[in-house]
Structure formats: structure tokens, C-alpha cells
Amino acid sequence: MANILSLDSNRKFYSDGHFPYNIDYSSEFTGEQTNLLMQHGWAYQALAEGSRTPVTKEEEAFVAVCRGEQAPKTVHERVWVLFCNKTSAPKAMISSPLVGSKPLVAAHPETSFDDDFESLML
């Protein structure tokens, strides 16, 4: 019987649609989180979308987290939930007849528009 590796993926995950310059250049994740996403991201995504059937207990638990049936416990579950939260956050948009609609700023839970920007000026 072959050794089944849980959350195994045979290619690197880049998520170009959300991070056009790659996940590791985004500064949204720690080094460990980036490594996990790049190494296992395709498996995470396939399990979350249902295009891959879970074959281990760890993958079954991962799918349960993706469905909201249980809280994330493992590093794999936590990093995927973090990734999903960051990529599903609404973005402020600006629209112009010359450039169309483009994101103005990415919404981030720690950012407030009430921040004192004058203190950032040199």
C-alpha cells in the first residue's frame, strides 16, 4: 500500500488573482505561513472547493473547517482560514472613465481611516 501524504500537492501555489507578485512578496503572511501556502495551497483549495476527496483524517477535519463545522486547530487549517479571510476582504474601489475600476486600498482589519496621518509626514 502506498504511503498517503496528507494535504500533499505536486506544484507551488501562487494565487496570482489575489497576489499578482506572488504570495511571498505580499507581506500579508509570515515566512512559515507563506511556505505552507505555497507548498500545500493547491491541496487546500481543491479540498475547500470539493474537487478533491479527503483521503486522511487530517483532510476530513480540514474540509469540516472549510464548511464551518468546526474551528481551525492545525497550522494548515489556521493558515487557510487566514488566507481566505485576507482574499475575501472587500476593497475600496475608485472608478474613472480613463482607467476603469481599480482597487484604491485593500481593506485591513487593523487599518482605520481615523488614524493620524499627519504624524506620518516627515
Paired sense of beta strands 91-96 and 100-106, if any: antiparallel
Selected residue with higher pLDDT from 71 and 115: 71
Residue 118 lies in a domain: no
Residue 67 lies in a domain: yes
Q: Using the 8-state DSSP alphabet, how is residue 110 labeled?
A: T
Give the integer Cα–Cα distance in Å for 69 and 74.
Answer: 15
The pLDDT-based confidence of 6 (bands split at 50, 70, 90) is: confident
User: Based on the structure, what is the number of domains in the chain?
Assistant: 1
Residue 29 lies in a domain: yes
Residue 51 lies in a domain: yes
Residue 103 lies in a domain: no
Residue 102 lies in a domain: no
Cα–Cα distances in Å, from 114 out to 98, 110, 117, 118, 122?
Answer: 30, 11, 8, 11, 19
User: Nearest to residue 84, comparing CAs of 44, 55, 56, 111?
Assistant: 44
Report the predicted TM-score, pTM, of the whole model to 2 decimal places: 0.66
Residue 45 lies in a domain: yes
Domain that holds residue 82: 23-89
pLDDT digits (tens, 9 = 90+) for 51-77: 999 999 999 999 999 999 999 999 999
Residue 96 lies in a domain: no
